[in-house]
Amino acid sequence: MVYMGRIKTPLGIFLAASTEKGVVKLGLPGERETDFIEELETLFGKSYVLDEDISGFNSPINRRLKEELLEYLDGRRKNFTVPIDLNGTPFQKKVWFELLKIPYGKIKSYGQIARELGKPGAARAVGMANNRNPVPILVPCHRVVGSDGSLVGYGGGLEFKKFLLELEGVRFSGDRCVIEE
C-alpha cells in the first residue's frame, strides 16, 4: 500500500507518499497533485494508492516526514532520519546514494559527483538522475550545481533551490554558489 498525504508549510503544500518501508515520493509546492497521483498509480497500481485525507488513516512515516520537513524548513534540522524507499535504475540509485553523502550546507558539481562514481565523463547522466530524484530535499539534489557554481535546474524552480541553499548557509557570489573544494 502507498499512503499519500499533504504537508502544509509556510512555503506551500508538499505532497508525500510512503510505503511501510519509507518515503517513495515527495512533491514540492506547486507540483500538480493530479500528476503526482498519476505517477504513483503508474508505479504501484491505482488500487494501492490510499489518500490519507479521504481514508482518515495517517501513515506513521508520512507523520514523521511532516515533522522533520517542518523542522528543516524552520532551520532546526540538518539531517533527515525518516526512512526512504527509493525506486530507480541501478545508476540512478548510485547517484542518489552519493547525494546523501553531501553534508548540509555544502554543494558539489555534477562533474564532482560523476568523478566520485568513477565515471568522470558522466556529468550529464548525473544531471538526468538528479532530475528523476523522487524525494527531493530528503535526497539533497538541491546541493548539486554547475561546475561554475551556477544554479542549474531544479524541479521546484531555481528560486526554490536558492532558498534551500541559503537556508543551509551556502555562500553566494552574485547568482552563483561558492564551491569549496
Distance of alpha carbon 23 from the chain centroid:
11
Instruction: Provide CB contacts within 8 A for 71, sequence distance 6+.
Output: 77
Annotated catalytic residues are 141
CB 33 within 8 A of CB 15: yes
Bridging pattern class, strands 176-177 and 49-51: unpaired
Q: What angle do CA 44, 47, 49 make, to 5 degrees?
A: 60
Beta pairing, strands 23-27 & 12-18: antiparallel
- Residue whose C-alpha is closest to residue 104's, from 168, 177, 161: 168
Cell of 1: 500500500
Full DSSP string of 99-121: HTTSPTT--EEHHHHHHHTT-TT
* Residues 47, 121: Cα–Cα separation, whole Å: 42
